[in-house]
Structure 1
Amino acid sequence: MSQLPPLSWLQAFEAAARTLSFTAAGRELGVTQAAISQRIRLLEDRLGHKLFVRHPRSLSLTPAGQAWLPSINDAFTRLGEGTAEVFGSAADHSVTLRTTPVIQQNWLAPRLPRLQRAHPLIAIRLVSAIWPDDFGPEGADIEIRYGHGDWSGMEALSLGAEWLVPVCAPSLAAQLNSPRDLAGHTLLHALGFGVGWPAWLEGAGVSGLEAECRALSCDNQVMTLALASQGAGIALAHRRLLAERDDLAIPFGYGLASDERFWLVRPSRRNIGEDAEQLWRWLSAERDVSD
């Protein structure tokens, strides 16, 4: 098993051998022509044999490539049959949607029942991403990302402008009349965001107040919001995540505008299925287009 090349290299070979085109193989797999070329080169280096003859405007298989292709086709066929046998036919038709747990919990969960009523035959597979490196063009049909929307090779639709606001349990909010009242309380920090408490406090006119506060840092926003709802401190939250929550209150009116926002994202080169296209259109209609 240790001698088996990575699956992505084998997929690149199978698609390129079938289409005799690195460009067509990349379009099919949702990656660039250069990525296919690199995977084939790495595969050839691993095997110690050339698999393709590169002509000026076309490709052809070498004798070694021709001899190996039936084994690859048989392996993918058996893998597909085994997957269908164990997991059912829905595995072939599900749409993979990848995003952060905080978006799943606060933005997607309230909407999914409506989606299921509108499109009961779409099978959705939710995949969690914690850090930016968890995202990528492979393995997901659609993603919801946070950032500036400038990802190469991706089609991105903004969910709307974003503001960061402080949130806490309603009982604690009743004690906070102005940002200065945060002194002595615990500020909950979510790591990985470009804008945090120092920027919010500066915008609210109380720069440096964090020195008078206790701090508790978490590696995800789900936990900071959970702690805030339990009265353990005050968190910064994206306004979009609060519409469906009644366990969090906003003690002050000031919100810090962010140049980052949430985006609906999909690979621009991938040929997507009908279910994925329907899900994309439905999620697009849920955007806050008024911002």
Structure 2
Amino acid sequence: MARLPPVAWLQAFEAAGRTLSFTRAGEELAVTQSAISQRIRMLEARLGQDLFIRHARSLTLTEAGRAWLPSVQDAFDRLAHGTAEVFGPEPDAPVTIRATPAIQQFWLAPRLQSFHRQQPETPLRVVTGVWADDFIGEDVDLEIRYGAGDWPHLVQQSLGTDALTPVCAPALAATLTAPSALTGHTLLHTAGFTVGWPDWLDAAGLSEMPARHLWCDTQSMTLRLAAQGCGIALAHRGLVGDPQILVAPFELACPARQQFVLTRPERRSLRPPAERFWNHLLATID
């Protein structure tokens, strides 16, 4: 394998090729325009081909330069992603946790508030993730996922087993004296859950019950509609919070086949503030 040119030369080429300016490349890399020009000349000498056509007041890439630039940029991108995967965000970056909107609103918010009261000097950042993804490409320290826990290369801590039960607005709940009272009401479904209304109705002996149906692809939307009196959602008990917003009118609940799991990359050590937040979340589990 041919020996690679020095990284400083490659940085100069990438910046100059992207900006088509030795001056702007120098400003970006905090060196002089002449330093960029010298590095490019040495790189061209090493490669045995010109990378730029020098005009009086501008630059253009040669055919070889245009062909090589994407490879150099891809190499720097892969290096940045690999560094983030192993070492995580910058030491002084906010502690970042990713979760679905429903988990953020009904489970994470009060725990984040209590942590912030205890350690107000620790910057926190919450980002949204609807479907499970990896940790590459984002400065994410922790993530709460929902599933069976079949995620390789992640440290995983269950947030406890859960069950699903009907929830609705308090005024509507006052009229539901028994499960059979759901007849004719709108049932709010969340797409993608392995346990849903058919399971709960079957457990209640109401599998043939006539009802209206409305489907959403996020649980946060079904819970929002339920809070507005639009119907009855099937929700995890762990996400039922303020009784002034949502009420569970029945005791009957179906065990969930999946669970909420706090995760982090296996290859990456947590920064001290992220580790404190991780431990704080685990301490709140009943």
Q: TM-score, normalised by structure 2?
A: 0.69
In 2 relative to 1, CA 121–181 (structure 1 residues): closer, same or farther, beyond 3 Å?
Answer: same
User: Could you list the per-position Cα deviations for residues 91-123 of structure 1 after superposition, in whole angstroms to 9, with x for gaps in the alignment?
Assistant: 942111000011111111122221012222211
- Indicate conservation of the 8 Å contact 1:99/1:128, yes or no: yes
Number of residue equivalences: 218
2:105 and 2:181 map into 1 onto residues whose CA distance is: 30
Q: Are the aligned partners of 1:27 and 1:271 in contact in 2 as well (CA < 8 Å)?
A: no
Partner secondary structure for residue 108 of structure 1:
helix
Instruction: Report the Cα distance in structure 2 between the residues aligned to 1:100 and 1:8, rounded to whole angstroms.
Output: 31
Q: Give the aligned partner of residue 208 of structure 2.
A: 208
- Give the conservation status (yes or no) of the 8 Å contact 1:228–1:235: yes
Deviations 1:10-40 (A, max 9, x none): 2444698xxxxxxxx697257xxxxxxxxxx
Equivalences for 1:216-227 in 2 at 5 Å?
216-227=214-225
Looking at structure 1, the residues matched to 81 and 220 of structure 2 have their Cα atoms a distance apart, in angstroms, of 40
The change in CA–CA distance for 1:246 and 1:8 in structure 2 (over 3 A counts) is farther
Distance (whole Å) between structure 1 residues aligned to residue 72 and residue 102 of structure 2: 32
Please say if residues 85 and 135 of structure 2, whose CA atoms lie closer than 8 Å, have aligned partners that are also in contact. no
How has the CA–CA distance of structure 1 residues 6 and 166 changed in structure 2, closer, same or farther, with 3 Å as cutoff?
Answer: farther
Bigger CA radius of gyration: 2
Change in Cα spacing, 1:251 to 1:26, as seen in structure 2 (3 Å) is closer
Which residue, 238, 241, 244 being the options, matches 2:242? 244
**Partner residue, 2:263:** 265
2: CA distance between counterparts of 1:259 and 1:103?
17
Q: Secondary structure at the match of 2:201?
A: helix
> Which SS does the other structure have where 1:224 is aligned?
helix
Cα pair 2:91 2:271 within 8 Å, conserved: no
SS state of the match for residue 131, structure 1?
coil
Looking at structure 2, the residues matched to 6 and 243 of structure 1 have their Cα atoms a distance apart, in angstroms, of 51
- The SS at the match of 1:110 is helix
Percent identity of paired positions between Structure 1 and Structure 2: 44
CA contact (8 A) 1:167 1:228 kept: yes
Name structure 1 gaps, 5 residues minimum: 17-24, 31-79, 81-89
Aligned-partner Cα distance in 2 for 1:14–1:184:
56
- 2:232 maps to a residue whose letter is I
1:119 and 2:119 correspond: yes
The answer on whether the counterparts of 1:198 and 1:208 sit within 8 Å (CA) in structure 2 is: no
Q: Structure 2 matches for 1:164-179, cutoff 5 A?
A: 164-179=164-179
Q: Distance in 2 between matches of 1:224 and 1:100?
A: 13
Could you say if the C-alpha distance between residues 7 and 202 of structure 1 is closer, same or farther in structure 2, counting changes exceeding 3 Å? farther
Amino acid at match of 2:126: L
Aligned residue type for 2:215: S
The structure-2 alpha-carbon separation of the partners of 1:183 and 1:226, relative to structure 1 and needing over 3 Å to count, comes to same
Does residue 1:108 correspond to 2:166, yes or no? no
Report the counterpart of residue 188 of structure 1 in structure 2: 188
Instruction: Give the whole-Å Cα distance in 2 for the aligned partners of 1:14 and 1:256.
Output: 45
Report if the CA contact (8 A) 2:170-2:243 is conserved. no
Amino acid at match of 1:10: F
8 Å CA contact 2:169, 2:227 repeated in 1: yes
Choose the corresponding residue for 2:86, options 28, 31, 35. Answer: 28
Matched, 1:10 2:8: no
Q: Deviations over 1:234-262 (max 9, x none)?
A: 00011001133421111111010112111
How far the C-alpha of 1:173 sits from its partner, in A, is: 1.3
Q: Is the contact made by 1:131 and 1:192 (CA closer than 8 Å) also made in structure 2?
A: no
Q: State the alpha-carbon separation in 2 of the partners of residues 99 and 269 from structure 1.
A: 21
| Secondary structure class of the residue paired with 1:111 | helix
1:147 aligns with 2:205: no
| TM-score, normalised via structure 1 length | 0.68
